[in-house]
Structure formats: structure tokens, C-alpha cells
Amino acid sequence: MQPEPDSTAQFAMRYPIFSVVVFAALSIAIVLVSWQVTKRRIDANENAARLAEFTAVLGQIPFDSINFNTPQMIEPPHRLPGDTAVPLLTAQSNGKTAAWVLLITARGYNGPVSLMLGVDTRATITGVRVLAHTETTGLGDNIELQHSDWILGFAGQRYIGDIDPRWALIADGGEFDAFTGATITPRGVVDAIAQTLRWVNRNQAILLDGRIP
């Protein structure tokens, strides 16, 4: 039997807390239902997006597994860019290490720039993508693939020797282009990638062993 609507309404008016409880329950129900409906799809989307990022930075390197839920953390002090721990992921093909993916932080104009860098076992870059940044719209954000092809220029590059003079902007005497209106952002990105490559060069044998330097 349903309670008479008017008495329920009167009850709500007399005890406002009843009203709050009813609507809190309703709100929770709305969120729960939509969460249940969308949960699996959101998870699938996120995994697909993550896998697409790895595939992009790993370029032509075939891999059958990557430990993207359990990255190895390289704790500071390390000689990688930034002062925080750097996650390192290993892509494997037929049980053998095929490439590494490092999530590094470059110093941009407005703040940190998160980069995802793929390096094969010969320390050659397979690809770089920007994950997050706060650079100026239309200037510094040309590091993003959706705004410019600039970031693609790193694929296939290596760092040769102790000091490789090519790893600087053309304006600084190196070989890398900056884009119009922004110098600090591309300089930060080039420096961070160069530093990471030097680190990989130095620690190649340890990394190939499956250990963390």
C-alpha cells in the first residue's frame, strides 16, 4: 500500500531532514546507476587509449606485452630529468626485452611537461609523445602532435658519445628546430630527451639484464 502523497509531503515539510535523506538517496542512486552502466566502457576506453599511446611511442617495434600496470620506479637521485621517481616500462616480444618506455618530466615555460619516451634496446628513440603540459595555447603547445608534427622528429635519433653537440636547438648550435614564438618549451623537451638517452646509453647493459640501475 502506498502512503498517501499529501501526508508524505507534510511529513517532509515538518522534518526537512527526511527530505534531505530522500534526495540524497535519489542522487546516490542516479550516480550508481550511471556508474554501473558506463564502468566497463570507460575502462575499455582508458585501456585502449593507453595502449594506443604505447603503440605510438614504440613505433615499428613489435611487442606482445608491456607491464603498464606495474611500472618499475627509478627513484631519485638518478641522472634522469626531474627530481621525482621515473616510471620505466618494459615492452617484451617473445619473452625478450624489445624496448623501454620512460615517463619523464621536462621543464617547460609554464611548468612541467610530461613526456612518454620509447627507446629500443640499441638506445634509439622509437617515438615521443606529450602526455600533459601547461604550455601556452598556440605557442608552446606545438609540442603536441595534434598541433604540429614537431614531436615526430625525435623518432630514430640517438645520442652518440659523451657529449653529442647535435642535441640542442639550432639557435643554440644544435640540430633541432624550435617553432615560431617558443624557444624555452622545445629547449626543455630536447634537453630532457637528450639526458634520458645518455642515461639509457650508460645503463644499457643493466637494463637489458632486467634490472634497475
Partner 1 sequence: MSAQFEALWREHPELVQLLGLCPLLGAATSTVNALGLSIATLCILFGSTVIVLITQRLIAPPVRIAIVLMLIVAQVTSCELLFQAFLPELRANMGVFLPLLVVNCLFIVRMQTLATSTAKGRVVIETLGSVTAFSLCLIGVGTLRELLGTGAVLQNLDQLLPGVSGAGLTLSDNGVLLALLPPGAFFAIAVMLAARNWLQDR
31 lies in the binding site for partner 1 (CB under 8 A): yes
Contacts of 145 (CB under 8 A, 6+ apart): 129, 130, 151, 152
132 lies in the binding site for partner 1 (CB under 8 A): no
Element (H, E) at 207: helix 184-208
24 lies in the binding site for partner 1 (CB under 8 A): yes
Contacts of 69 (CB under 8 A, 6+ apart): none
d(CA 89, CA 66): 7
String of contacts with partner 1 for each residue 69-98, x by CB under 8 A: ------------------------------
∠ CA 68-132-120, nearest 5°, is: 45
Return the residue of 26, 73, 160, 212 that touches partner 1, per CB under 8 A. 26
Taking CB under 8 A as the binding criterion, the range among 3-11, 63-71, 154-162, 186-194 that sits at the site for partner 1 is 3-11
Return the residue of 76, 111, 138, 165 that touches partner 1, per CB under 8 A. 138
Side-chain half-sphere exposure of 128, counting CA atoms within 13 A: 29
Return the residue of 2, 4, 16, 161 that touches partner 1, per CB under 8 A. 16
Least distance in angstroms from the C-beta of 178 to partner 1: 17
Can you tell me whether residue 141 is helix, strand or coil? helix
What residues line the site for partner 1 (CB under 8 A)? 5-6, 8-9, 12-13, 15-20, 22-24, 26-28, 30-31, 33-35, 37-38, 41-42, 45, 49, 136-139
